[in-house]
């Protein structure tokens, strides 16, 4: 057989891609089992009908041909205005490239920052696609652990231990932990990145899901503005996961390269989707708040349940997830999640899917209706208590 490229055969580093339990739960659902699916960050309340209507009108009006590869002027202007409103950093159309979802934005950012063979750092715990995205551009993916005992805040001393690197990928608000990086953490990161003349890639797709405190974008630190590439998306802020509308924000020079890359890869995004995105942003922050509100409520409710039941909850202040420490049961996150699914038909993601730093934890997605979610939380707590007794 003709040889496949190393780039595609090494995307997962020779191991699992982290989605094994999710696929198992989907197979069980396909067989008719009533699994409570708490694995993916998929909204249970779907895209607002008014946005879908705008998409439909745009398609009927003929915006179905080739659209502006960089993104329509209207959409780029709206994304720039939203960014400037949130961060206070001057942002214009020339700082924005529209991408085929946040994942394409991550790939574009690493293509801009890295040459084959370069070292590219990402923080562990991490979203499952991060190392594969880095490997896809031919760079060497190196994880730096943000330790549980330090609240999953990365430390400069740990970053320095890696040696020379071309880029650092961070994610705050963070998936899977729900942690928001502090100003002190960002200042340490800034010092590290500037001192080593690196690119900083900041995944900020959860910027509307902050329940306590403030999310700071690295572009708000002046010395980072021209060396930071920010990835954003409509997926979480507007419940538009399947529409695949994302963006990359950076210096005008970096964005020119992102647009050139799109010309040779995706060739842009359908115009009717871009028009729907423009309409969505025209609804203002009120719509974003409406979409995030159920997760704020569920986050508080499940924190209270798990804390009352004696389960260690990672002190998070953001996102549609909670991370639970199940190490007192003596089980790994993989074993806990697998047995919970088999015994109680509740699917959560094992922490090991997100790297070594999250081992012995599980991530609960707050993505089903309140009653079902709270019932599942109590069943999970019962399961935890049973195995806590077994471990004793």
What is the pLDDT, as a whole number, of residue 348? 97
Give the whole-angstrom CA distance, residue 297 versus residue 64: 39
Task: For the chain, 392 residues long, give each residue's pLDDT as a single digit of tens.
Answer: 899 998 888 888 866 667 899 999 999 999 999 999 999 999 999 999 999 999 999 999 999 999 999 999 999 999 999 999 999 999 999 999 999 999 999 999 999 999 999 999 999 999 999 999 999 999 999 999 999 999 999 999 999 999 889 999 999 999 999 999 999 999 999 999 999 999 999 999 999 999 999 999 999 999 999 999 999 999 999 999 999 999 999 999 999 999 999 999 999 999 999 999 999 999 999 999 999 999 999 999 999 999 999 999 999 999 999 999 999 999 999 999 999 999 999 999 999 999 999 999 999 999 999 999 999 999 999 999 999 877 76
Global pTM?
0.96
Q: Which residues does 386 contact at the CB level (< 8 Å), separation at least 6?
A: none
Give the whole-angstrom CA distance, residue 319 versus residue 218: 19
What is the pLDDT, as a whole number, of residue 101? 97
Q: Which residues does 184 contact at the CB level (< 8 Å), separation at least 6?
A: none
CATH architecture designation of domain 63-283 = 3-Layer(aba) Sandwich (3.40)
Task: Give the CATH number of domain 6-46+286-391.
Answer: 3.90.1150.10
Q: Where are the domains of the chain?
A: 6-46+286-391, 63-283
The strand ranges marked E within 58-146 are 96-99, 119-124, 140-145
What is the pLDDT, as a whole number, of residue 392? 67
Q: Which residues does 214 contact at the CB level (< 8 Å), separation at least 6?
A: 180
């Amino acid at each position: 057989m003709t040889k496949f490229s190393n780039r595609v055969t090494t995307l997962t580093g020779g191991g699992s891609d982290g989605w094994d339990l999710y696929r198992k739960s989907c197979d069980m659902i396909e067989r008719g089992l009533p699994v409570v699916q708490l694995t993916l960050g998929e909204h249970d309340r779907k895209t607002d009908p008014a946005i879908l209507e705008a998409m439909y009108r745009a398609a009927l009006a003929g915006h179905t041909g080739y659209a502006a590869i960089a993104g329509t002027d209207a959409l780029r202007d709206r994304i720039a205005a939203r960014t400037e409103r949130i961060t206070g950093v001057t942002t214009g159309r020339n700082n924005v490239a529209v991408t085929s979802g946040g994942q394409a934005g991550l790939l574009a950012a690493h293509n801009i920052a890295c040459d084959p063979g370069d070292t590219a750092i990402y923080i562990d715990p991490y979203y499952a696609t991060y190392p594969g995205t880095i490997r896809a551009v031919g760079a060497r993916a190196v994880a730096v652990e943000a330790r549980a005992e330090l609240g999953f805040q990365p430390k400069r001393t740990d970053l320095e231990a890696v040696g020379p690197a071309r880029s650092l990928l961070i994610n705050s608000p963070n998936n899977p932990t729900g942690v928001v990086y502090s100003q002190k953490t960002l200042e340490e990161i800034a010092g590290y990145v500037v001192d080593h003349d690196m690119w900083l890639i900041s995944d900020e797709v959860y910027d509307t899901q902050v329940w306590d405190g403030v999310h700071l974008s690295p572009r708000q630190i002046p010395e980072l503005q021209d060396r930071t590439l920010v990835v954003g998306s409509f997926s979480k802020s507007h419940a538009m996961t399947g529409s695949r509308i994302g963006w990359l924000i950076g210096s005008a020079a970096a964005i020119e390269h992102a647009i050139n890359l799109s010309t040779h890869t995706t060739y842009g995004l359908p115009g009717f989707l871009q028009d729907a995105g423009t309409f969505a942003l025209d609804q203002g922050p009120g719509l974003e708040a409406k979409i995030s509100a159920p997760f704020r409520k569920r986050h508080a409710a499940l924190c209270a349940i798990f804390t009352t039941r004696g389960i260690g909850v990672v002190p998070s202040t953001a996102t549609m997830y909670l991370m639970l420490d199940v190490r007192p049961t003596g089980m790994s996150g993989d074993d806990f999640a697998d047995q919970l699914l088999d015994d109680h038909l509740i699917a959560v993601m094992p922490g090991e899917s997100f790297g070594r730093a999250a081992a012995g934890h599980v991530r609960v997605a707050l993505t089903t209706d309140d009653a079902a979610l709270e019932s599942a939380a109590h069943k999970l707590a019962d399961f935890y208590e049973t195995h806590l007794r077994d471990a004793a």
